[in-house]
Amino acid sequence: MRDKANILIAVCLLLMLLVTTLVYWPGLNGPFLLDDFINIESAFVSDFNIEKLYYEVTHNKSGTLGRPVSMLSLLISGILHGPSPWGYKFHNLAIHLINGLLLFWLLIKILPRLAPGQGRENQLFIATITTAIWLLHPLMVSTVLYAVQRMAQLSALFTIGALLLYVYAREASAKSGPKFYLLAYLAYPFFLLLSIFSKENGVLIPLYIIAMEITVYRLDFFKFRTVPKCWLIYLGIFTVFPVIIGSLYLITHLDQFANFTSRDFNMVERLMTELKVVAVYLKMILVPRLSDMTLFHDYFQVTRTFDFVTALLLILLAGAVAAVFLLRHKAPVFAFAIAWFLVSHSLESSIFNLEIMFEHRNYLAAVGPVLAVVCCLSCFSQAPNLKYLNLPFLALIAAMTFIRVQEWSSEEMIYQIAVTEHPDSARAQTQIANVKFNRGDVTGALEHLSAAQENSPREFGPVLHQVAIMCTTGMDIQPLLEEARYRASRYPVTAYSLNSLDNLLVLLNENRCPELTLDELLSVVESAEGLTLNQSRPRSMGFLLKVKGQIFMLKGDYGKSIEYALAGYDYSGITTILSNLARNLIQLNLLGDAEEIIRILERINNESGGIETALITPLRRDLAEKVSEQELINEQSESGEN
């Protein structure tokens, strides 16, 4: 009988994975999007060149820790499948399926404690349906088919893996034998570190464990004698101690993590806004609508005042926290679901200086609400057939995901639907403008960029973007340049602003923008440079000085170009500023100056353990070739004179 049950489970799991694969397969042909370009395209390595791999893994600027595990994974995808998006998305789908299996495994381990009144058959049904809904939920599309969100997926993979190891270690703690110490003190910390170095959300693992101790094991914190001593020591080392240290670190570095100078909202406004954002997340999980889901949520309005809705949501949040403790004995599965959801959002939906809203933040968080709904329909002994209502819901969300995947298979479709559903999104307007410009529709592109300019009044990126599109058209760009200078002098630069400056530099270098002069672009840069908020942000100031140096390079003032590039590096610590400078100097035959810059890079490389080797090696080769060419020219010149 047990063998038949196991066979049925295996068949259900295989069917679940197969359906998920079939639903997502068309989306694997979709494009790279947004952050994919800087994290994947610009970091592409074609083979297993150790120097290049080491450089790209150690130089990613995502998050606080650089996310080296995720970067290595993305680099391997590129080596195995080439630079096209397909391979990256294929591996994302594979990780999504693995995560589903791990989630199922975790659920079947904890459901006997969360739903002890249910038979084993019903517990398996709950675990299977919960996993299937999670795998096929349309909200997951913007994680699975957005290649760079490999970071969120890998962090989730190692988080679930760490929690599984914790469950097995807890079971083994009663015997306190070799198995316990292997799981608790070797395997678990390894998965914890892998999760953290995939994405910083891994630091939440100790909080997940505390939540599980409260709701799954219902640990009585006032009756420690009932818990094995070895387990209490383990909890102290890997949960209590990290939480205390993390809290102290956060308090002492609050000015770093909660610095909102680059945003148009402060910490209090973000916290008030996140109350509404989390409520919207919950709605999208429980009552999914495709029109609510999009790659761009920059249209979401910031809450500036403490209104009635904010107060109500704050009360509901407090009630949810209280419910975790009130329900942990009477309805532990619901206490667990609430605790899981809250812990999942305790980092990205709290005080940190992050953007307001992204769907991928629900990748793990969705497990809690989905489990609660499935259990609501599956745990009534008086109506055992009620659980089958989960199946129509599963079919509905699978159909919705299939539709959304079709949308994500086309770059133009993604952006066009985003603009149609959310016209207030400046990012959606910007992206569809690029699509239209590439099709030759300059008028349409400018209309969308004008809308983006109105939707983001503190940003000069869309203003300069319009200037770039108007190059060679003969249109008057002076009003736009005046607007750009005005905004640059009052609002901090963003990645979009800096990217727009870089794009205009390329056009000027290639003589493709006769309407714009170097001095006019310089005036925009100097307006931003003079803003105190920019001066307090080293990376922003470093990029501005880099652009200023490049402008002087094009003007022929190489001394000032070198001066500003060096200042840009001093501000930001970004070595590519120096490598680009050295490359330009080599091309200009300023070989002595290039040698000095390369020596600076070599000194930095020696001090940092060799992480800049891949940057320096081609520069040394190019410089040597130029020197040889110059020596040959000199020899030929001398021979001619003789």
Q: Do 390 and 133 meet the contact criterion of CB atoms below 8 Å apart?
A: yes
| Domain membership flag for residue 71 | yes
What is d(CA 460, CA 97) in angstroms, rounded to the nearest whole number?
42
Burial of residue 222 (number of CB atoms within 10 Å: 0-12, 13-18, 19+)? exposed
| Domain membership flag for residue 530 | no
| Domain membership flag for residue 422 | no
Read off the tokens for 514.
């006769």
* Domain membership of residue 603 as a residue range: 574-642
Read off the tokens for 141.
């599309």
pLDDT at 223: 63
- DSSP for 280-298, written as a single string: HHHHHHHS--GGG--S--T
End-to-end CA distance of the chain: 101
Read off the tokens for 455.
């939707």
pLDDT at 635: 72
> Of 386, 407, 428, at which residue does a domain stop?
407
| Domain membership flag for residue 507 | no
Structural domain count, the chain: 2
> Of 407, 425, 460, at which residue does a domain stop?
407
Phi, psi of 262 (to 5 degrees): -90, 0
SS3 528: helix
Report the chain (642 residues): mean pLDDT per 10 consecutive residues: 70 91 95 88 87 87 87 94 94 97 96 86 90 97 96 97 95 84 93 95 95 89 70 88 88 79 85 96 96 92 93 96 94 95 94 91 96 86 74 93 94 92 92 91 93 91 93 88 94 91 92 92 94 87 94 94 94 92 93 93 91 90 88 71 58
Classify each residue of 175-203 as buried b or exposed e, where b means 16 or more C-beta atoms within 10 Å of its C-beta.
eeeeebbebbeebbeebbebbbbbbbbbb
What is d(CA 277, CA 356) in angstroms, rounded to the nearest whole number?
8
pLDDT at 2: 60
Q: Report pLDDT digits (tens) over 610-622.
A: 888 988 999 999 9
| Domain membership flag for residue 222 | yes
What is d(CA 232, CA 239) in angstroms, rounded to the nearest whole number?
10
Q: Do 96 and 20 meet the contact criterion of CB atoms below 8 Å apart?
A: yes
| Domain membership flag for residue 237 | yes
Q: Report pLDDT digits (tens) over 549-585.
A: 999 999 999 999 999 999 999 999 999 999 999 999 9
| Domain membership flag for residue 562 | no
pLDDT at 500: 93
| Domain membership flag for residue 595 | yes
Read off the tokens for 571.
């501000």
Q: What is the pTM of this model?
A: 0.92
> Of 356, 385, 407, at which residue does a domain stop?
407
What is d(CA 223, CA 227) in angstroms, rounded to the nearest whole number?
8
pLDDT at 273: 95
Q: Report pLDDT digits (tens) over 370-391.
A: 999 999 887 765 666 777 888 8
Give the number of residues written for the chain.
Answer: 642
